Structure 1
Amino acid sequence: MLAPLVLPPLLLSSACGQSSSNAQSDAGPALSKTEAAQVLELYKVTADRASRRLDAKSLAAVETGPQLAMDTATFKLHRAAEHRVAGRGAGNASFGKPTFYIPRINGHPRWFAADVTAGTGKDTLRHAFVFTQAKPSDPWLLAADPHPSGAALTKIALDEEGYATTVRPSERELALQPARLPATHAALLSGGPKAPGAAGLAPGPQTTQAYDGLRRTQDRLMPGGITLSSHFTPEPGPVYALRTTDGGALVWYVVRQNEAYSSSKQGKLAVTGDLVGLAPPSAVKTHLDTVVLVQYLAAVPREGKARVTGMYRKAISAAGS
């Protein structure tokens, strides 16, 4: 396994944490573009090797937080279904030319984003990576990877030297504070667009349509004797936000979904699809509980509603009884 990449600390202020956008304008970049390219290359090599071996311990050298939990669950799925995917791992990534969005940040933790395309043809997938470094001596780790739609990343504002600007999670000049996005999105998915605390998100595939789709799934299962309950909550952890050219922000955040399937008769429930590898099929009799993490990317304007522009969803645990 390759050693984690630890870049030498830049000559920045020793102040810790994320300060305001104005204060950050005098800070140095989190790292250089050359160093960012090295971080991405090491990630690609290490993650691909871990994927070929379905080795989550190796993956932990280059990933952290929800990202590591979600990709570890993917490895379990591939390991359990290996005979059905011809031994194919979860990676073999070939990245196209990346675009880096490196903010000016005082102290640690530091982070940067990367717009990366992997694969070719119909298998092409776009990534909105976020890499973080907790302390100067720590490796850079992949913390987020929602798959963006449209050109949201190209709207990130850059200064004269080509660097981005962070946005405070508590910024009140936006239509919705970045720190409130996880709770707002969770409220909408749990109770619909009119639920308390759900205002501020625009209708779309990952908001109102996702809520309606879940309700239809519940209705479809009921005639077969299966009851599904689902509840969404904000996932603890940092929210990442960069200033956009319209004065708004592009925000990365995570929501947790807890699902419970119940049936009065055995044989109605099964471990299938995204749940394969997370629970022994024999353990599921009349009840199945699952935990799903969903990473989102949202564009928040100064006025109007925030629009969700990307996501990555994966079940990370399941338990039957």
Structure 2
Amino acid sequence: MSLLAGIPLAAGCGGSDAGASGSPALTPGRARQVVAEYAATVGQAGDRLDASLLPKVETDPQRTMDTAAVRLRQVSGARTGLLKFSQVSVIVPRLSGYPRWFAASAVSGSGKGALRHALLFTQEKADAPWLLAADPFPTGSSLDHVALDRDGYATAVAASSGKGLAMSPGALPAAHAALLNEGPRAAGADRLAPGPRTTEAFAALRRVEAGLRKSGVTLSSRFEPGSAQVRALRTRDGGAVVWYVLKQREAYSAAKKGKLTVTGDLVGLAPPSSVSTRMDTTVLIQYLATVPAHGRAGVSGMYRKAVAASGR
């Protein structure tokens, strides 16, 4: 089946700039309040190692990924401590209908431990809670380039629209998955710029597979577009900054028992005793990318987390 099938589209996106003449999703003041409320609750979840708090402030894919992160920390007893954001800047688009959403740029930690966030919050219907849907960690300041109108509001770009762009935002997941599966020569892969999350990630995975084979373990991996809706905002240069998700399915096998172990990111997802000669895992990967008016899309942010594992 073609990877181009089933690309998720943003709701209510009929034109090139979705909701360009609509009303703001919420006021900037309320958006900042949502970010603060989120930080307080998710900080408690990390400090208490209590994943039951996450549904109050998160939705998928973020909730599934952070639930797996809490399970990992429960095993190690590593509490995160309370979450504090600095340099918070909210980006509120004009939208028509629901679901509504907005973005926020923020920094957690300080010094060498500082981490930049590209937060994406959604509201499914009127009076529903605002929940964090995605939080890829960008290496640059992509959100600083979002275009704002005279009133300070952003413009949402339809996932299905390629008008004025090198590619439509909704085509990014399939192109990225094809590159990671088949390499830079895959159909559509040339739409993505080379870098650590594209061509270098493909090469690194092949090196890992080769190294595992030498130790008696076979790894097969397959990427596909995730079910999360693609969200995009117009940038000042006419491009778009885009949030999207990929799903990675991994299958490990070994001829001899003892070769496979539950370690690293998989801890807490499957009992070590359940793995003998086969292990299957599911990984979710959030990305933040910038699509220019001309040229290749650059992937600047990522949050990767294994969310399921089973063995036999």
**TM-score (norm: length of structure 1):** 0.91
* 2:122 counterpart residue number: 132
Which of 263, 271, 274 is residue 272 of structure 1 equivalent to? 263
The aligned runs of 1:115-264 (5 Å cut-off) are 115-173=105-163, 174-264=165-255
Deviation (angstroms), 1:22:
5.6
Conserved? CA contact 2:23–2:96, under 8 Å: yes
Amino acid corresponding to residue 137 of structure 1 in structure 2: D
Select between 188-197 and 70-79 the one with higher mean Cα deviation: 188-197
Write out aligned runs for 1:61-76 (5 A): 61-76=56-71
Greater mean alpha carbon deviation, residues 18-27 or residues 288-297: 18-27
Rate the CA distance shift 1:22–1:258 in 2: closer, same or farther, 3 A. closer
Distance 1:22 1:209, change over 3 A: closer
For residues 50-81 of structure 1, the C-alpha deviation after alignment (integer angstroms, 9 at most, x for no partner) is: 22222222111100011000000000000011
Partner of 1:300: 291
245-254 vs 197-206, which moves further: 197-206
Counting strand residues as a fraction of each chain, which structure ranks higher? 2
- Determine the structure 2 residue equivalent to 1:56: 51
1:13-28 counterparts in 2 under 5 A?
Answer: 17-20=12-15, 24-28=19-23
Shift of 1:97: 2.9
Name the residue aligned to 1:313. Answer: 304
Name the SS for the 2:190 alignment partner. Answer: coil
Q: Is the 8 A contact 1:18 1:105 kept in 2?
A: no
Structure 1 pair 23/187, CA: closer, same or farther in 2 (3 Å)?
closer
1:147, 1:93 → 2: CA distance? 15
State the distance in 2 between where 1:208 and 1:247 align.
26
How far 1:23 moved relative to its partner? Answer: 6.8
* SS, match of residue 24 in structure 1: coil
Deviations 1:246-304 (A, max 9, x none): 10100000000001111000111111111110000011110111101000000001111
Q: Is the 8 A contact 1:21 1:165 kept in 2?
A: no
Q: Which amino acid aligns with 2:41?
A: T
Shift of 1:223: 1.2
Query: Could you say what the CA RMSD is over the residues aligned between the two structures, in angstroms?
Result: 1.3
Partners of 2:18 and 2:134 lie apart in 1 by: 25
Q: Distance in 2 between matches of 1:97 and 1:195?
A: 39
Percent of aligned positions that are identical: 54
Q: Distance in 1 between matches of 2:176 and 2:106?
A: 26
Structure 2 CA distance for aligned equivalents of residues 169 and 154 of structure 1: 21
The AA in structure 2 aligned to 1:121 is G
Shift of 1:26: 2.5
Match of 1:157, as an amino acid?
A
Instruction: Give the drift of 1:196.
Output: 2.5
Where do 5+ consecutive residues of structure 2 fail to align? 1-10
Give the length in aligned residue pairs. 301
In structure 1, stretches of 5+ residues that fail to align are: 1-15
Shift of 1:182: 0.7
Check 1:95–1:22 CA distance in 2 against 1; reply closer, same or farther (3 A cut).
closer
Aligned to 1:3: none
> Which deviates the most, 193-202 or 149-158?
193-202
AA aligned opposite 1:142: L
Query: What is the DSSP-based 3-state SS (H/G/I as helix, E as strand, rest coil) of the residue aligned with 1:135?
Result: coil
Task: Give the secondary structure class of the aligned counterpart of 1:97.
Answer: strand
